Amino acid sequence: MARTIGSNGKETEKRVLKEALTLFAHHGYAAVSMRQIAGQCNIQAGALYNYFPTKQSILHGLMLAHMNDLLSALNAQPKVDDPVSALKSFTQFHIRYHIDKPAEVFIAYMELRNLEPEPYAEIMKLRQEYERFLRGILRQGQANGDFQIDDVPVTTMAIISMMTGVNTWYRYGGRLGVEEIEKIYVNLVLSVVGLEAERLTPKLEEIA
């Protein structure tokens, strides 16, 4: 059949990525079929192959876009020299980003094992670049005596896991808004590096 009236390659490609993201986040990459993705885009399965040579390439495209976006956003943050301020900014940034893009974040760490070796290595490199940023802040704060840290590599992973965890339980419209979550996590992270956090008053639990 001829081109559908009003169809547009660029639009369709975006649509495919958008719908695949939602489906992968919901059911998992392996459990989603090309037919399902096409169905959500209101096209036929064959048409997907105009944009992506394989199903794998859709997943790779999504994860690469996410990692690049995350790193760009991080690099676009104002530079801060003082490790304490840097750690606060990083925490706020991470929490906000992970709350704002739950599906992207979710597949970025749930679907890693479904990547073939080469794409896997590429994505892992970008992840490590992100982790290195936090590790740098911790090392700096440890060196100048601001932070009390037993082990920087372990503490780096612990902080990232703690923060990324919001992705699994936070939902808009719940008891706490994004700003409140941010404040709580900034305090949690400051505590982890041995700084006394200013307690939030009134306690957030009492507001709710």
Task: Write out the binding residues for a second copy, residues 75-94 only, by CB under 8 A.
Answer: none
Q: How many residues does the chain have?
A: 208
68 binds, among DNA, a second copy, none (CB under 5 to 8 A by kind): none
Considering only 113, 117, 118, 173, the residue that binds a second copy (CB under 8 A) is 113
C-alpha to C-alpha distance for 123 and 68, rounded to whole angstroms = 9
Q: Does 72 bind a second copy (CB under 8 A)?
A: no
Which two three-digit tokens encode residue 27? 């059911």
Q: How far is the CB of 121 from DNA (least distance, A)?
A: 20
**What DSSP character marks residue 97?**
H
Q: Footprint of DNA on this chain (CB under 7 A)?
A: 1-4, 7-9, 12, 32-36, 38, 42-47, 49-51, 53-56
In the bound state with a second copy, the residue whose beta carbon lies nearer, of 49 and 109, is 109
User: DSSP string of 104-149?
Assistant: HHHHHHHSGGGS-HHHHHHHHHHHHHHHHHHHHHHHHHHHTTS---
Q: How far is the CB of 77 from a second copy (least distance, A)?
A: 22
The backbone torsions φ and ψ at residue 193, rounded to the nearest 5 degrees and listed phi first, read -95, 15
200 binds, among a second copy, DNA, none (CB under 5 to 8 A by kind): a second copy
Q: Which stretch binds a second copy (CB under 8 A): 41-49, 56-64, 84-92, 191-199?
A: 191-199
Write the binding mask 120 to 159 for a second copy: x where contact by CB under 8 A, - elsewhere.
----------------------------x-xxxxxx-xxx
C-alpha to C-alpha distance for 61 and 80, rounded to whole angstroms = 32
C-alpha to C-alpha distance for 177 and 73, rounded to whole angstroms = 22
C-alpha to C-alpha distance for 16 and 43, rounded to whole angstroms = 10
Q: Does 21 bind a second copy (CB under 8 A)?
A: no
The backbone torsions φ and ψ at residue 71, rounded to the nearest 5 degrees and listed phi first, read -70, -35
Residues within the interface to a second copy (CB under 8 A): 26-31, 109-110, 113-114, 148, 150-155, 157-162, 164-166, 168-169, 175-176, 181, 183-185, 187-188, 191-194, 196-197, 199-200, 203-205
